[in-house]
Chain A
Amino acid sequence: SQTIHQWPATLVQPVGSPLSLECTVEGTSNPNLYWYRQAAGRGLQLLFYSVGIGQISSEVPQNLSASRPQDRQFILSSKKLLLSDSGFYLCAWSDNGGADEKLFFGSGTQLSVL
């Protein structure tokens, strides 16, 4: 069966520090991978998605970047965190198929930038 791992679960970082959140998927190959951010009262915002190794699409301009060094690994990074980067970050995957495919979410990372 497929599983998705996301870590760390919580993270407290000072403003200006770097960030690296990692997500891995097991039990499937060539998945679509996604990073979402959930800010209080604002729902989920798609940050990045990837349809293959090294292929990253950014949905909104921001202080963050994403990379996919391996088929089932998706990394969210920042060189210098801002206060506005605080939020709940969710990694997700779907089969590389049609638009009716469902998303499978990780358990999330609560990031607090102080």
Chain B
Amino acid sequence: AQSVTQLGSHVSVSEGALVLLRCNYSSSVPPYLFWYVQYPNQGLQLLLKYTSAATLVKGINGFEAEFKKSETSFHLTKPSAHMSDAAEYFCAVSDGGSNYKLTFGKGTLLTVNP
């Protein structure tokens, strides 16, 4: 069985500050890991994904995440927050099967203050 834990349901940063959203996973197989973003009243969009290639993954909008097997972590970062980054962010892990089911974390709401 697989699971995802997102530490912090709400993170608040100032515009221009570092964004760090934490995600730890549990998986019995080598995981595929994803970060999705959800803007208010919308569906989810893929930010980036890790698929066993480079451990540092770059995504859209300046976000990146680093896969650390020893820490079972996949934290999302962005060097400088922008007001438009305010949204809810979800970390997810794939079960590795051909039917491709994702297990999502509970989400972290990012607030960016001017």
Question: Closest A-chain residue to B30, C-beta based?
Answer: A99
Residue of B34, B98, B101 touching A102 (CB-CB under 8 A): B34
Chain A: interface residue total (CB-CB under 8 A): 29
Q: Which of B14-22, B38-46, B63-71, B72-80 contacts A (4 or more CB under 8 A)?
A: B38-46
Nearest CB on A from B106, distance (A)? 4
Contacts of A114 in B (CB 8 A): none
Residue B49 interfacial (CB < 8 Å)? yes
Contacts of B97 in A (CB 8 A): 99
Residue A83 interfacial (CB < 8 Å)? no
Contacts of B55 in A (CB 8 A): none
- Asked if B105 contacts A110 (CB within 8 A), the reply is no
Question: Closest A-chain residue to B52, C-beta based?
Answer: A100
Question: Closest A-chain residue to B4, C-beta based?
Answer: A43
Residue of B9, B32, B42, B43 touching A99 (CB-CB under 8 A): B32
- Sort chain B's interface into a size bin: 20 to 34
- Asked if B107 contacts A99 (CB within 8 A), the reply is no
Complex alpha-carbon distance, A99 and B33, angstroms: 10
Contacts of A51 in B (CB 8 A): 99
Complex alpha-carbon distance, A57 and B97, angstroms: 14
Residue B24 interfacial (CB < 8 Å)? no
Indicate whether A108 sits within 8 Å of B43 (C-beta atoms), given known contacts A42-B106, A100-B32, A100-B51.
Answer: yes
Chain B residues proximal to chain A, CB less than 8 Å: 9, 32, 34, 36, 41-46, 49, 51, 90, 94-107
